[in-house]
Amino acid sequence: MKKRSLKIILLVLYMPLAVLLLLSLLAPYFNPAQWPFVAMSGLFFPVLWILNIFFLVVFILLRSKAWFFGLLFLLAGLYQVSLVFGMNGDDRENITGKTLKLLSYNTGNADSPDPFASRRHVFEQKAFYRADVICLQEFIPGHARGSESLQRFEYHINVDFTGKTGSRANGLSIYSKFPILEQGFLKPEDEDVYALWVSLDLGTDTLLLINVQLQSIRLEDEEVEVVARPWRVPELFAIAGNVYRKLLRGFERRERQVAVLKGFLQHRAHEVILCGDLNDPPASYTYRNLRKFLGDAFLEQGSGFGFTYAGPLPFLRIDFVMASEGLEVVSFERIGETFSDHFGLEAEFVFHRYAQMIPQMATNFICVNLCTICEHLWIILFCG
């Protein structure tokens, strides 16, 4: 009788978890501006999936028939898990031709009263000296003074969040050893700049480089601490309304920003690298829509867990390096040490001529269509 009661209690506890996990799996397919609660669940997919494993083990030990649902959700979540855990080897020995080494880093300097003094070590890391191009988010250009790793670049451009280029205020920056042919930024009226783009002259090729920081949720430090510790129920309830409004604003603005970026990418004339802070995980509408145009460097050459947020909230991969199919990713690494609330990302690329790209394009075409078929089957099975 006690065992039966325990099974019922566990099943009652598992049901809301299962619903949230299902919503998190559906999050990439729903417009977050129209379905904010679905989008919100996608932020917590890794935690929900891990909790599902716990319940699955308990159900098996108790010989509860609910183990079937635990296993079903375990398998359904494997694709999303593959987007945060890489199992790639090192292909550097196969490199032919010139490469481009890129570093993308959210330095987190916006919120510190004396950020350069407190986080000076960011710019002394070896990755800053290896890179041919550096894209920085939340960076104050004035902090480049005294930093050899940034002063060595002949070409650079900065724009603050108000749209003022060359500003000494916090914003987006690109440092390049290649000449900048064109430049610009994307900024809606009465909102922040969320993308800085440049055309780089690589000699025989031109590259469109887009450095982004999509709309942040902008939680206060105290709010982040409470959300990271949901068992503090009274405090969580006290901030819930404010947090939800900030999440909703972030979802709505990122949806509009992604729509503009999609149009921008559709009309590109050159190969593209897009990098920076998307403020959304792989289980999101933002990521899925950008992946329609660009490959994910982490999936091609990353290994281990790819989580990039170093703050109190765990298991968040929100920083990305993405590239068009004419660029082969030959290496990818998350910088293991950080002096920011984000980890830096290093990626190395090599250009391919069209004739060399045909076998890879055929492979990509097959893979993309297989993934699309699997997505449609998954939606039919789970959503009717």
How is the chain split into domains, by residue range? 2-82, 91-352
Which CATH architecture group holds 91-352? 4-Layer Sandwich (3.60)
pLDDT greater than 50 at residue 98: yes
- pLDDT (average), residues 297-304: 93
Structure tokens at 239: 């901030």
- pLDDT (average), residues 89-106: 78
Residue, of 29 and 230, whose pLDDT is higher: 29
Q: What is the 3-state secondary structure (H, E, C) of the chain?
A: CHHHHHHHHHHHHHHHHHHHHHHHHHHHHCCCCCCHHHHHHHCCHHHHHHHHHHHHHHHHHCCCCCHHHHHHHHHHCHHHHHCCEEECCCCHHHCCCCEEEEEEEECCHHHCCCHHHHCHHHHHCHHHHHCCEEEEEEECHHHHCCCHHHHCCCEEEEEECCCCECCCCCEEEEEECCCEEEEEEECCCCCCCCEEEEEEECCCCEEEEEEEECCCCCCCHHHHHHHCCCCCHHHHHHHHHHHHHHHHHHHHHHHHHHHHHHHHHHCCCCEEEEEEECCCCCCCHHHHHHCCCCEEHHHHHCEEECCCECCCCCCCCCEEEEECCCEEEEEEEECCCCCCCECCEEEEEEECCHHHHHHHHHHHHHHHHHHHHHHHHHHHHHHC
Please tell me the predicted confidence (pLDDT) of residue 93.
60
- Over residues 155-205, the pLDDT tens digits come to 999 998 888 887 777 899 999 999 999 999 999 888 889 999 999 999 888
Residue, of 376 and 12, whose pLDDT is higher: 12
Please tell me the predicted confidence (pLDDT) of residue 30.
94
Please tell me the predicted confidence (pLDDT) of residue 223.
76
pLDDT greater than 80 at residue 370: no
pLDDT bracket for residue 375 (50, 70, 90): low
pLDDT greater than 80 at residue 380: no
pLDDT greater than 70 at residue 22: yes
pLDDT bracket for residue 74 (50, 70, 90): very high
Is the sign of the CA dihedral 253, 257, 258, 263 positive or negative?
positive
| Lowest mean pLDDT segment, chosen from 70-79, 216-225, 288-297, 299-308 | 216-225
Mean pLDDT over the full length of the chain: 84
pLDDT bracket for residue 73 (50, 70, 90): very high
pTM of this structure: 0.85
Cα gap 202→183, rounded to integer Å: 15
Annotate 244-277 with b (16+ C-beta within 10 A) or e (fewer). Answer: eebbbebbbbbbebbeebeebbeeeeebbbbbbb
Please tell me the predicted confidence (pLDDT) of residue 365.
46
- Over residues 319-368, the pLDDT tens digits come to 999 999 889 999 999 998 777 889 999 999 998 644 344 344 444 445 54
- Over residues 125-155, the pLDDT tens digits come to 889 999 999 999 998 887 776 678 888 898 9
pLDDT greater than 60 at residue 116: no
Q: Are 159 and 129 in contact (CB under 8 A)?
A: no
